[in-house]
Amino acid sequence: MIHKPYGCLSQFSGEAEDFTLADLDEFPRDVYPVGRLDKDSEGLLLLTNDKRLNNKLLNPRFAHEREYWVQVEGEAREQHLEALRAGVEIRVKKEVYRCRPLKASILEGHFLLERNPPIRFRKHIPTSWLSLCLTEGKNRQVRRMTAKVGLPTLRLFRYRIQDLVLPDGEPGLVKELSRKELEVRLKLKL
């Protein structure tokens, strides 16, 4: 389990100037990320060499819940949440895609360390924090969904997958988990 920092690619290699997972720790050669967080996103990322775990977490038929804390530009209102909960239409690979219904709520305040670099600040435009719980994961889906309802994403943080919660700590934290702990927290049999 990794607390992926902002600006880090969810891969082990890249261009010479890229910040990658290889810069965080020494990992066994046969592990790889389960899913992705884009370069601008932060939070919980799992690495494994277990193909069954990878399939069970990424295959949409298993519908594992992922919770994201999202800072958006604008004041979030109930109509925004209702639209998100119903499942908005976004474009994925140039096709219209209707997102599955999800859980959405407004977070009062936020619980994250300030990001470096900080998000853009506009004196006269408020920001809001949302909790979005999805059971699917299309490319840049959360960003596309919030933009669709008129609340562009400023900061995106994956807080949990099922009952596996990212512990408090600095970005870059790496923690090894046992198979039993994964089975219990992810609610699956490996």
pTM summary value = 0.94
Is a pLDDT exceeding 80 seen at residue 139? yes
| Close Cβ partners of 75 (under 8 Å, ≥ 6 residues apart) | 126, 128
pLDDT tens digit sequence for 60-85: 788 899 999 999 999 999 999 999 99
H or E element in which residue 83 lies = helix 78-86
What pLDDT does 87 receive?
95
| CATH code for the domain in which residue 91 is found | 3.30.70.1560
What pLDDT does 10 receive?
95
Nearest to 1 by CA among 187, 158, 190: 158
Give the number of domains in the chain: 2
What pLDDT does 119 receive?
85
pLDDT tier, 90 (very low <50, low <70, confident <90, very high otherwise): very high
- C-alpha 93/C-alpha 89 separation (Å) is 13
Average of per-residue pLDDT across 133-157: 95
By CB atoms closer than 10 A (0-12, 13-18, 19+), residue 163 is exposed
Residues 55 and 70 in one domain: no
Is a pLDDT exceeding 80 seen at residue 14? yes
Residues 25 and 49 in one domain: yes
Q: What angle do CA 18, 21, 35 make, to 5 degrees?
A: 110
| CATH code for the domain in which residue 7 is found | 3.30.70.580
pLDDT tier, 116 (very low <50, low <70, confident <90, very high otherwise): confident
Q: Which amino acid is at 138?
A: K
Average of per-residue pLDDT across 113-121: 83
My answer on whether omega of the bond before 152 falls inside 30° of 0, hence cis, is no
Residues 73 and 151 in one domain: yes
Residues 96 and 73 in one domain: yes
Residue 176 structure tokens:
């090894």
Residues 75 and 157 in one domain: yes
What pLDDT does 170 receive?
87
Residues 74 and 59 in one domain: no
Residues 19 and 49 in one domain: yes
Which residues carry out catalysis? 38
Is a pLDDT exceeding 90 seen at residue 113? no
Residues 104 and 128 in one domain: yes
pLDDT tier, 169 (very low <50, low <70, confident <90, very high otherwise): confident
Is a pLDDT exceeding 90 seen at residue 167? no
Domain that holds residue 180: 1-63+163-190
Residues 73 and 156 in one domain: yes
Looking at 49-63, 88-102, 131-145, which range is the least confident one? 49-63
